[in-house]
Amino acid sequence: MQKPLNIGLIGYGFMGRTHSNGYKRVNDFFPELKHRPVLKAVCGRSPEKLKAFADQWQYESTETDWRELIKRDDIDAIDIVTPNNSHAEIAIAAAEAGKMILCEKPLALNPTEGEAMVAAVEKAGVANSVWYNYRRVPAVTMAKQLIDEGRLGRIFHYRANFLQDWTISDDVPQGGAALWRLDAAAAGSGVTGDLLAHCIDTAIWLNGSISKVSGMTETFVKERVHTETGKVQPVSIDDACAFLCRFENGSLGLFESTRYARGHKALYTFEINGENASIRWDLHDLHRLEWFDHGDEGKLRGWRSIHVSDHDGEQPYMDRWWVPGLNIGYEHTFVHHVADFLKSLDTGETMHPNFRDALETQVVCDAVLKSAAEENWKVV
């Protein structure tokens, strides 16, 4: 019999669906786990939308005030999927109430908030995690294993892109419940916190800490209509951001994200070049890990395309799903995240990425934005 882990979800947008799906699926595919998430309550401000979400995802109850949710004795873990400007207040209150916390990325609006969040969870001693989900794409996890096994040797280069094209039209409004990602007051930043933060989280995980950055940003559309007031307002987010960096291991990094790359909806790619081998990965072909090994016999040397989907137990996560060679998708990264979170409760091991890990990403994002504003290098 598994122990129930009663979830209180705050917010119910796109990320509320990905997390709810993770909670619902996890025990079917990870039956050895000793905890079972129970969709106890969902919280949001619009009663009608809240009821529709609760009915669809089978949450047992609803709350319209997150403070009331946090007070409830029947809630073990608070999951925060609200806009970024409410993460800190909710997470700190939840930690003080002794709740475990799973928070959407980015951790906070800025490092100051992030530090207060880390202090709160560490003082309360509550389990905590941030949903940087791409770490748990099996091919990305396998890249981590190959690097940790030392197969790349010394690493020279890390490059990553996250490209979208959904804000090119100046007719796209900004702000409000649906388009808060375009409002700096709610989001903290534009593509830096929303997209580059994913690339930075993966990069730090795979290649270690970043020590120095030099960034540039641009806001291509300067004014947009606000969704709720109908008024034309200045755009205060970064529409595109690119930066150079140095890693502590001596390698050089090159990162780019934009919402103005016509033709790209969510293209996340990275490439790592080491002394002995190189690795390449592309979200749109997420099972494939491209691998070049200089140790291969000369006449056969070339890029291998490894379909990470085998069941012999050597390729991460895949033995949980279908038969060898069959695919899984984006949603499974959230199932894996929940599975690893529950496993950390079972074993007492620390879950990663946690608030402290996500703070490191937040600090890099902040340094990139400051460097872009001041047109100089920043030490992280």
Residues lying near ligand SOE in the complex (CB under 6 A): 164, 194, 198, 266
Rg (CA), the chain: 21
Return the number of the residue (6 or 129) whose C-beta is nearest ligand SOE: 129
- 48: three-class secondary structure by DSSP: helix
| Contact criterion met (CB below 8 Å) for 10 and 50 | no
Return the number of the residue (97 or 172) whose C-beta is nearest ligand SOE: 172
Shortest distance (Å) from residue 184 CB to ligand SOE = 15
Q: Residue 305 is encoded by which pair of tokens?
A: 């395309």
Shortest distance (Å) from residue 266 CB to ligand SOE = 5
Specify burial of residue 41 (Cβ count, 10 A radius: 0-12, 13-18, 19+): buried
Q: Residue 53 is encoded by which pair of tokens?
A: 């979400």
Cα gap 321→306, rounded to integer Å: 18
Among all residues, whose Cβ is closest to ligand SOE?
194
The length of the chain is: 380
Shortest distance (Å) from residue 188 CB to ligand SOE = 12
Return the number of the residue (296 or 331) whose C-beta is nearest ligand SOE: 331
Return the number of the residue (87 or 198) whose C-beta is nearest ligand SOE: 198
Shortest distance (Å) from residue 131 CB to ligand SOE = 8
Shortest distance (Å) from residue 164 CB to ligand SOE = 6
b/e string for 204-229 if b means 16 or more Cβ within 10 A? bbbbbebebbbbbbeeebeebbbbee
Shortest distance (Å) from residue 293 CB to ligand SOE = 30
Shortest distance (Å) from residue 376 CB to ligand SOE = 29
Shortest distance (Å) from residue 3 CB to ligand SOE = 30
Cα gap 194→83, rounded to integer Å: 11
Return the number of the residue (27 or 86) whose C-beta is nearest ligand SOE: 86
Return the number of the residue (141 or 278) whose C-beta is nearest ligand SOE: 141
DSSP H stretches of helix in the chain: 14-29, 47-57, 66-71, 87-96, 111-124, 138-148, 184-187, 191, 197-207, 330-347, 355-374
| Contact criterion met (CB below 8 Å) for 41 and 9 | yes
- 38: three-class secondary structure by DSSP: strand
Return the number of the residue (99 or 259) whose C-beta is nearest ligand SOE: 259
**Which residues have CB under 8 Å from 305's CB, separation 6+?**
288, 289, 290
Query: Would strands 128-130 and 155-163 be described as parallel, antiparallel, or unpaired?
Result: unpaired
Return the number of the residue (72 or 176) whose C-beta is nearest ligand SOE: 176
